Every structure is written in C-alpha cells, then in structure tokens.
Amino acid sequence: MAIFVPYLLLSTFLYQSSFCALETHFESDLAQELLISAKDPKFFDWVKRVRRQVHQYPELGFEEHRTSQLIRDELDSLGVQYKWPVAKTGVVASIGSGDQPFFALRADMDALPLQELVDWEYKSMIDGKMHACGHDSHVAMLLGAAKLLQARRERLKGTVKLVFQPGEEGYAGAYHLLKDGGLDNVNAIFGLHVMPSLPTGTIASRPGPMLAGTGMFSAAIKGKGGHASSPHLGRDPIVAASLTIASLQQIVSRETDPLEARVVTVGYIEGGQAANVIPETVKFGGTFRSLTSEGLSYLQERIKEVIEMQAAVHQCSAIVDFMEEKQMPHPVMVNDEAVYEHVKRVGKTLVGEPNFQLFPVIMGGEDFSFYSQRMPAAMFVIGTKNETLKSDQPLHSPYFFIDEEALPIGASFHAAVAMSYLDSYAAEF
C-alpha cells in the first residue's frame, strides 16, 4: 500500500497533465483556425462594413431600432435563428444543437449623446450621437463570431447564445434582458470590450472583482430666494449646497478605510441665473462607487443623510433621488475564476502569452455585472490602440477612434472561447 498510493497519485497527475496538454493543444489549433478565417480579406471587409454601418447611425439606449434591424438582417443572411425583441430592442440568437450546455457571448449596441469630432469617411451621421465607447465594434465582432460559428455549427457540442444587448450606457439593459428571460438556463457568459489604452491585439482581464458597483443620485436643496443685498431675509441654498458638496467628500476621506476603494463624485450643480439674486433652489448630482455591495449600501445611506442634514443646518430642505428605476445601480463586476481561467487560456493561444495582460481594478462600472450575479461570467478587454491612427483617445471622448485590425481578433476570440467551452463541459450534461 505504501508503494501503491504514490503510484496512484502519480498516475492521476500524469493523466490530468496529459488531458490538460491535449485540451490546450485543441484550443490552440481551434483558435488559430478561427483567426485565419477571420483575417481572410473577404471576411475582414465584411466585418468592417458592418461596424461602419452601425457607427454611422448611432442610437441611444432602448432606441436601437436601426441597429437591431441590421443585426437581424445579417443573422437572416447567415441562416441563424434568433429571438426578438428582447428588452425592447435586443436580439438573442442561437447556434448549435439547441441542447445544454448553453454558453453566451454578449455585445452591447447603444451609443452616447456625444458629438463626434473625428473627421473621417464613416463618421456619425446623427448630430449629438456617437459610438464613443466602441459598441459598434462589439456588434461587428459578435456578428463576426456568428459567421464563424455558423460555419462550424455541426462541431458545436451544445448551444451558443449571441446576446445583442440594448441600453448599457446607464440604462441597465443587462438587467432588463435577464428580466425578459433572454438568458434563462445559460451556464456561463463572456463579454469583450475594446480598450484604447492597450495596443491592438492585446487582451487583458483579471479574476474576481474587476469593476466597481455604481449608483447615481440627484438632489434639490430648497431655501428662500431674495436679493443679494439682503441675504439675511432669505435662506441661501447655494451656501447650503456648497457646504453639502464639501461634506460629501468626507464620507470617503474620513469614514472609509483608506485600503477600501470607494468614490463619491458630484458631477453637476445648477442654481441661479442672476448675479444679484439668491435663488430658491439649487440642484446637483453625481455618482457613488464601491468594490463591495456593502460599500454601495453604506454610501447611499450616508449621501442621503449628509444632504438632508446639511440642508437642515442652513434652514433649508432637501430631496434626494437615487433614480433607481430610471438608472438602476449596477452591482460590482466580478469575474468567475473558472470562466476567467478558461478564457485566459484560449486568449493566450490566440494572441500569444506576451500579449496577455493582467487588467487593473478600476472604479468604472458596466452592466455586464448583472450577468455576473446570475451566472458564471467573465469580461475581457481587447486593445485598439494605434498611435499612427490616433486610436489612443479614451472611451467616451468625442475623438474616440478604433483600429479595425482588432475586429477579426475579437470575432475569433468570441468564437474560440464559446466552442472550447462547449467542448470542455459537454460531458457534464
């Protein structure tokens, strides 16, 4: 027995090592096969055309009617079945056997209320609206994945769900898509976002918490208006609001452990129209962020208390609105470790290990976090930075631009992750 047990352990180790090596070899061959297909000139021209069409006609959250129609037209041409509408304008397509396991790939569709300042042939045709967060490229990459997967549908050991999601930019579209039953019985989900701070072809992510949970608030402090020459006859809401905003910063600086990440930001303030008049009301608002759900709850509670109490100190009243129905708070984005490791392994075989980076935790928010609450999920980013093309401007900038060389990489990455996931987990169902 003293000899048999180590031998058994060694045999098990060798078997597992051999299986992992075979799995990695399979994933590497698959990833390279898909990448070669995606870089075919005809395929590349098609995916660029799709992206440019979406870019020229940007639509805001839950208004993506033209974008949704384009997606459905392309899916029809590929012979891919889909469900529509989901969450008003969303589309959820299916490729594969129709049986378990179900693996989902997600692309958001909506644009931003921003005037594009990039002067190029395919710039936005709609004044005041722009794809400044790369959702046009997300749609194109996922449609590219649909084309790659449909051509290999007989090899799929399960079903891939392609999620074209509306309303990511502050509208919690992911929440509404889940509420509509768009992803019932899905075993795991993968999302990919362009990142202009990383060189084209680089991918990055991290296990565990990756993006902050976020919430928004607005406040109105009401006093008593009057003339600037007689402030004692009024109740000045500008003074009350000014000191309230300063006090809000102390929630983080004096009530939060310095080793815990939390942010409170006031982004706007409105009050008064004349230099010699004290207004009756001042309005302001902003966001709060944390890497824990407990932190979010604490910030929300204290923001309300500070605003109401500071208003009362100055003999004013206050109303605080957290806009939970219109702009729902987003939970913390947490990458499932098992899905993360799977996607990371596939990504390295696709772009090479030197082109994988560990992404830092940042305090931005993403409604992909709603999926991560419901099922194992992983979000990765793909670099689009090319200084020659000036595609190094930040997300949400009117000068945002992408290097389209990232499109075939993203399309093949989506497809490789889904196919290899189904292959790895099919035996469990």
Burial class from Cβ neighbours inside 10 Å (0-12, 13-18, 19+) for residue 229 reads exposed
Burial of residue 274 (CB within 10 Å: 0-12, 13-18, 19+) is exposed
Amino acid identity of residue 132, one-letter, is: A
At a CB cut-off of 8 Å and minimum separation 6, what does 396 contact? 112, 114, 132, 133
**Residues 133, 84: contact at Cβ < 8 Å?**
no
25 is in an annotated binding site: no
Residues facing residue 224 across a β-bridge: 235
- 225 near 282, Cβ under 8 Å? no
Determine if residue 138 is labeled as part of a ligand binding site. Answer: no
Torsion over CA: 232, 238, 242, 243 (sign): positive
Q: Which of 294, 290, 309 lies closest to 247, judged by CA?
A: 309
Report DSSP letters for 10-22, one per residue: HHHHHHHHHHHHH
Greatest CA separation found in the chain?
Answer: 97
How far apart (Å, rounded) are the C-alpha atoms in residues 187 and 102? 5
232 annotated as a binding-site residue: no
**How far apart are the C-alpha atoms of 158 and 96, rounded to whole Å?**
6
Decide if 230 contacts 410 (C-beta within 8 A).
no
Whether the bond between 331 and the residue before it is cis, its omega within 30 degrees of 0, is no
Which segments are annotated as binding site for Mn(2+)? 133, 135, 169, 193, 396
Which segments are annotated as binding site? 133, 135, 169, 193, 396
